[in-house]
Structure 1
Amino acid sequence: MNLRQLESFLAIANLGNFAAAAERLCVTQSTISARIQELEQILGVELFDRSQRTARLTLKGRELRPYAEQVVELTSEIRRMVGAKAALAGVMRVGVAELVAISWLPDLVGAVRDEYPNIKLEFEVGLNPFLLDGIRSGSLDFAMIAGRIAEPGLTTFDLGCVPFSWMASPILVPGAQPFDLCELRKMPILYQGTNSFTNSMMDQLLGISSNRDRKGMTCNSLEAIYSLTRSGVGVGFLPVDRSAALLRDGVLKVLRTTPSEFEMPFSVAFASSSPALFNDIAQLCVRTSKFRSDALTAQL
């Protein structure tokens, strides 16, 4: 019995099939199958029920799982504490909120390369529902998300806050009139995706309790929302710092609301059962983040 066999066993158990496990471990599917066959021969039991479309653990497989997790975690801890960081190697799949991706993600890549030169990062950019599902299913190792969550089985660290404001093109809003809640709700609002944290925050600020009460349209790309806002299609809820040049050039304007800025928190999340290395990388995300470290303001 060896570590690669146990790592392959856990990858299949977490991802639900041999193909996904092979992709995660950067080996062929035949290699994964051979490792599991060898492990089953050593133990003298079947670990997976192969009669279904997904690879389900047998009773003996479920018994093995916690022991395999302990062995892999202990091995990871030995490498992390005793070995050189340069000796740590592997692929980490990282979920990324779009605002992180277009701001300080390159800084994070550089920081990881400096400390863990043999760790390869693979990124998936998306909204919270996709990113959190990825962590829960094991298809993502950790994710940098909008908002703060408290969920059993997940460990999170704050990445800071980003000021957002309601913005529009002078084409859509030519004057400088103030907007109260009722007036803003009547405007065509540009929502980011479906069931995203940003949408929840927008609904909370607008006093909207149901999707049916929304007026406007939905788009899952922040850059596309910028384009739609610049064109006068609707009102965008956009990051102030990222919009500085557009505001300075008069392409966009901040609507006169009270308050005029709203702090959106961001965090990094990963499964609490993850190897200790994940905690180290998450802390590196915290140190690299360019978002403000001040606490969420009382206005929310």
Structure 2
Amino acid sequence: MELRQLQTFLTIAKQASFTKAAQDLGYAQSTVTSQIQTLEEELGTMLFERLGRQIKLTKDGENLCAYAAQILALANEAKDLVANSTVPKGTLTIGTAESLCTYRLPELFQAFRARCPKVEISLRFDICSDYRTHLRKNTVDIVFFLDVPCEEADLVTHVLFEEPMAVIASPDHPLTRQKRVGPQDIHGQALILTDLGCSYRRVFESILAQAGAKPSSVLGVSSNEVIKRFVGDGWGIGFLPRVTVEQELKNGQLAALVWAGPPFAIKAQLIYHKEKWLSPALRTFIELTLARLGNGISII
């Protein structure tokens, strides 16, 4: 059963004439007759009674009329929907780090909402090591990431900017009085860090390990706010993106140690799977992100 057969059937029923239907549809009358014969053979019934030049719907023909009209209406609706799919809509599921979401992305989200009001944003917070898995399982559309540059063949990575990091302590911590603090100075200190699996915790611990610096203890905390509170109360040394502690540094609640060790080279990145279909909503979001945060580079 083809859509064109149903359209021909409905036109004949409306005009009560094969000849007029052929004229309306721009077909040869033989084509109209052939389509109806094929449809009747497929359905195993007669759709029209033919009495000389008079035609009339059979009972089966009357029953088919309602369904044919609904089928064609749905087909047209689907066609219109697909034809208008360039209008961004739907839901974007975005994985992101807490610090990026809180301090770097609000204006971007606001701009995107203004441009694409029909798109719903769903944010997902998880540990950094899980985001690649989510991309590969297609449980998130895109990820904002803090790490050394990601170079994996199945992922598309846009490096947006370098994220300055801060080694922090309470203002009265002895290391705040040193002009320079290197990895060896962290040896024997208590650390208050993000959870295992966090990319920048991994970078910091790797630098310490390469220098042979062993902390006395490490407390993993999932909340930046809790880390700042514990560090400020003198529980140990912390390591966070500097943007997350700027206010506390200004207020004297925390102190940034003068880091003299290897650079951290933590980059804010936008990552998605190379086989991910870039819907209009997703493409618009990526292009807006790159324009605002990525020096105007564009999608290849």
TM superposition score category, shorter chain reference: 0.5 to 0.7
Larger radius of gyration: 2
Contact 1:176 1:256 in 2 (8 A): no
Name the CA shift for 1:150/1:279 in 2 (closer, same or farther; >3 Å): farther
Structure 2 SS opposite 1:102: helix
Name the CA shift for 1:146/1:107 in 2 (closer, same or farther; >3 Å): same
2:291 alignment partner AA:
R
Larger displacement relative to structure 2 (247-256 or 168-177) = 168-177
Name the CA shift for 1:98/1:88 in 2 (closer, same or farther; >3 Å): same
Shift of residue 263 of structure 1? 4.1
Q: Unpaired runs of 5+ in structure 1?
A: 1-74, 294-300
Contact 1:191 1:216 in 2 (8 A): yes
Larger displacement relative to structure 2 (112-121 or 92-101) = 112-121
Residue 4 of structure 2 corresponds to none
| Alpha-carbon distance between aligned partners in 2 of 1:257 and 1:128, rounded to the nearest angstrom | 24
Residue 286 of structure 1 corresponds to 290
Shift of residue 124 of structure 1? 0.6
Shift of residue 245 of structure 1? 2.4
Residue 173 of structure 1 corresponds to 174
Name the CA shift for 1:185/1:280 in 2 (closer, same or farther; >3 Å): farther
1:287 alignment partner AA:
A
Contact 1:101 1:125 in 2 (8 A): no
Contact 1:188 1:235 in 2 (8 A): yes
State the Cα deviation string for residues 216-261 of structure 1 (Å, max 9, x = none): 2111222221121111111111222332222222211122331597
Question: Is 1:114 equivalent to 2:118 in the alignment?
Answer: no
Q: Percent identity?
A: 17
2:173 alignment partner AA:
L
Structure 1 SS opposite 2:153: coil
1:234 alignment partner AA:
G
Shift of residue 139 of structure 1? 0.9
1:192 alignment partner AA:
T
Structure 1 SS opposite 2:111: helix
Q: Unpaired runs of 5+ in structure 2?
A: 1-77
Name the CA shift for 1:202/1:274 in 2 (closer, same or farther; >3 Å): same
Question: Is 1:90 equivalent to 2:90 in the alignment?
Answer: yes
Output the TM-score relative to the length of structure 1.
0.62
Count of matched residue positions in the alignment of Structure 1 and Structure 2: 213
| Alpha-carbon distance between aligned partners in 1 of 2:109 and 2:222, rounded to the nearest angstrom | 24
| Alpha-carbon distance between aligned partners in 1 of 2:202 and 2:175, rounded to the nearest angstrom | 28
State the Cα deviation string for residues 113-166 of structure 1 (Å, max 9, x = none): 222221111001222122222111111111101122111221111121111121
Contact 2:191 2:236 in 1 (8 A): yes
> Aligned runs of 1:67-216 on 2, under 5 Å?
83=84, 87-147=87-147, 148-173=149-174, 176-177=177-178, 178-208=180-210, 215-216=217-218
1:206 alignment partner AA:
L
Name the CA shift for 1:130/1:221 in 2 (closer, same or farther; >3 Å): farther
Output the TM-score relative to the length of structure 2.
0.62
Name the CA shift for 1:175/1:196 in 2 (closer, same or farther; >3 Å): closer
State the Cα deviation string for residues 18-37 of structure 1 (Å, max 9, x = none): xxxxxxxxxxxxxxxxxxxx
Residue 24 of structure 1 corresponds to none
1:154 alignment partner AA:
L
Shift of residue 208 of structure 1? 4.8
